[in-house]
Chain A
Amino acid sequence: MTKKQIELCAEDISAVEKPANRARLVKAPEHFISQELIADINSNGLDETRRGFLRKGFLSAIGGAAAGLASPMAFAAGEGDPAILEKQEWQTTLGKNVATMPYGVPSIYEANLIRRESPGLTRVSAASVAFTPLQGLFGTITPNGLHFERHHQGWYNLNPETHRLMVNGMVKNARVFTMNDLMRLPSVSRTHFIECGANTGLEWGNVAVPTVQYTHGMLSCCEFTGVPLKVLLEECGADLKKGKFLLAEGGDGSGMTRTINLESCLEDTIVAWSMNGEMLRPENGFPLRLVVPGVQGVSWVKWLRRLEVGDMPWNAKDEAVHYIELMPDGMHRQYASIQECKSVITTPSGGQQLLDKGFYNVSGMAWSGRGKIRRVDVSFDGGNNWRQARLETPVLTKSITRFNIDWVWDGSPAILQSRAVDDTGYIQPSIKVLRDLRGNRSIYHNNAIQSWKLDSNGEVSNVQVG
């Protein structure tokens, strides 16, 4: 198959202007005086008001030129880059004191990378989702302020002094722990991804949202610190032979409850208070949440206040009405928990704009709820041919792995895809394979290969192939 056969909403590549001279000269500003002002001066002569208008026009023209010149490639040959030749404000004046920002905030130039709600997704913000801006992140760790949010009845700043954790049910002793108690216990710190079961769920039927923030942004990855669940249960004398299930309950208005399958989650579940070295943020469950690696985010109960050991699943509201998947035969899949192997290219991704042809580092994230990422392949022609990407270390279990691949873009349209494989041998499927089996009325567990279409004008958009 030749490139020409690939149907890419064919654009005429020859129409794309080839940059003849890379060292461009920014043209002198013209027409910065309006035709009206010229006519006005011609008929009425120059007075102070009109001089003022002129002065303003000159100043903005000069300002505009200076801003243009600040671009690295835009200076006359033989001179040099003003960013190098001219002294900058930060080299010639005194900067701010230490601890001017005692807890620190990102640069003002990073103000665009924030959590966002998808307009129209929910009617009330207290039971809604705010997505992580994956399009601007690097590496594998999600900054705490950008960790995605999903609440069922709004969030509170819980007072850690009065917060209690109760362990009851099939235990020798029902016990109560304060935060002081819990934080005295031996703790572990482990890096894991958390993904909402509904991540990418908007796209089961068709392309619905423009950017990776909305397609995949119910995904975050942090280092969590806390006491292993097993230690706590053993401390209370839990009957782990008959007690195969755990009810985790939140301290919020929804009293969020989830059944945890102890058989598969006992070993690596953490009762956690810290995220990336600081205490959990209120939006993410301060002061205590459950961390259930590999399992959909709804089970990572926030504001955790109670753990009950039992011998059957609880069939809580979010296990019987939501977080169930409708199959074509009308059956619902219940307790689908594991987030299966998945990946997505984040740069470039939907809604982004490439500046020029040439070399690009194409990068993205891969993860699996069953273990480690073994490899990631990337296609630039809509899945016809694939190349193996580089995996960044560390490659951790049930954690995000960053992948990179070199690419020289020749300016022609392309479709970018990534396909992850985990250490169980599971290969990330296409959306077609998923729909053929599960239909298109599911909401949860869409781990399909994502396609981004790159047009010859450099714009990237969200598409589905097949």
Chain B
Amino acid sequence: MYKLDKLFARVTVAGLAALSIQFAYAQNTQGSVKFPGIGRNATPAEVMAWDIDVRPDFKGLPKGSGSVEQGQVIWEAKCASCHGVFGESNEIFTPIAGGTTTDDIKTGRVASLADRKQPQRTTLMKVPTVSTLWDYIYRAMPWNAPRSLTPDDTYALVAFILSLGEIVPDDFVLSDANIADVQKKMPNRNGMTRNHGFWSVNGKPDVNGSSCMTNCVKFVQIGSTLPDFARNAHGNIAEQNRLYGPYRGSDSTKPPIDKLPGSSGEGLAHAADTHAATTKGPAALFKNENCSACHAPNAKLVGPSIADIASKYKGQSGAQEKLMAKVKNGGSGVWGAIPMPPQAQLSDEDRATLVRWVLTGQ
């Protein structure tokens, strides 16, 4: 009887659910089943505008083509300043090309990943699929102007990168028709494994610890410590901790103290000494307004270094006004092909402060 009741209840619920689904469909031509009035169907144009991902089976890849030669021209204009003329940069981002051999192209395994002869892992040493390069370049490059490349630009750039790795010859034209064949030559196409326990929550871990509670080790040996010269490498640790309570920060600007400070914390900084730890002034403005995404104090990043700008304009009359106009309207051609985008969001006052700081350090 009980079982029958349960069965009857199930059938009824299922029937009601089916009814309500039909009802919902009838009510909402937009397709909502359970939550009428929430959301709407996407138009084909909307899906096309956003659904730009390209999978390893090349689903999603737009038609088009580009040659190594075309790729080199775009590369030098838009990519080389960060990635190096030959994709060798390790300054800002990791190198793209290097470390692969013609043998790797045959085996699909990059031998230098196991022999440790390469100082750094390049993109071509790792990436198993061409689709990955195509997808990422098209969606997110160049660094300061994502989504500004056409599909043909992207084909050309991928072709150029592949030629740097000698995966395709210098006169190659990459297209949607031959990209799948090229993928079969990727040097590390067989270098990935999912044979480990942590792709899934139910996976089997590769290691496990010990549950020993007493006399667990013969000898406690310290294998690694921070060297003395690194004591202050992360700034003064005293200023990164509370200045009251039982656990204070060590003053890493000084050598370790000789003895325990005592319960009053004599000789250590106290809460009354607290200062705002955040930096202020033009340096903070420079960071917060995103100038530091492209400019560094002493090294060329996407744009010239602050030191280079200062020395170029040194002694010029009207330098402050000239640079202020450039920050406001943007510019190009002075320091290479990558344009400086206009910074219209800055107030005149902030602009003046930033430019003065860049030119004089004050």
Contact = CB atoms under 8 A, between A and B. Distances in A.
B235 interface: yes
Interface of B: 30-35, 37-42, 46-47, 50-53, 55-57, 91-92, 109-111, 113-115, 121, 123, 126-129, 131-132, 135-136, 139-140, 143, 146-147, 188, 191-194, 196-203, 205-226, 230-231, 233-235, 237-244, 246-250, 252, 256-266, 268, 270-272, 274-278, 287, 290, 292-294, 296, 299, 301
Interface stretch (A30-38, A46-54, A123-131, A271-279): A123-131
B146 A369 contact: no
Given A112-B240, A428-B209, 16 more contacts: A1-B217, A1-B218, A112-B249, A123-B296, A154-B293, A169-B51, A175-B31, A213-B240, A257-B53, A314-B55, A332-B191, A336-B196, A355-B264, A382-B220, A457-B258, A458-B257
A354 B247 contact: yes
Contacts of A332: 113, 126, 188, 191-193
A453 B257 CA distance: 15
5 closest residue pairs by CB, A with B: A330-B114, A382-B220, A427-B209, A330-B113, A71-B264
Interface stretch (A93-101, A103-111, A282-290): A103-111
Contacts of B196: 333, 336
Contacts of B217: 1, 382-384
A60 interface: no
Interface string A195-222: 0000000000011111101100000000
B274 A74 contact: no
A317 B132 contact: yes
A28 B140 CA distance: 66
B39 A429 contact: no
A210 B237 CA distance: 8
Interface residues of A, number: 153
Contact of A123 (B91, B210, B240): B91
Interface in A109-137: 109-114, 116, 118-119, 123-126, 133, 135-136
Interface string A13-43: 0011101001010000000000000000000
Nearest to B33: A235
Interface in A340-371: 340, 347-349, 351-358, 360, 369-370
A153 B240 contact: no
Residue with the highest number of chain B CB atoms closer than 10 Å, among A176, A319, A449: A176
Contact of A355 (B193, B201, B260): B260
A335 B199 contact: yes
Contact of B198 (A152, A326, A336): A336
Contact of A338 (B111, B198, B238, B264): B198
Contacts of A384: 214-217, 220
B252 A383 contact: no
A327 B129 CA distance: 20
Given A173-B31, A306-B51, A330-B114, A369 B275 contact: no
Contacts of A61: none
Interface string A427-466: 1111001100110000001000101010111111111111
Nearest to B128: A320
A385 interface: yes
Given A16-B259, A355-B261, A329 B114 contact: yes
8 contacts: A67-B270, A74-B266, A108-B276, A153-B143, A211-B237, A237-B33, A265-B201, A360-B246
A411 B262 CA distance: 11
A334 B114 CA distance: 16
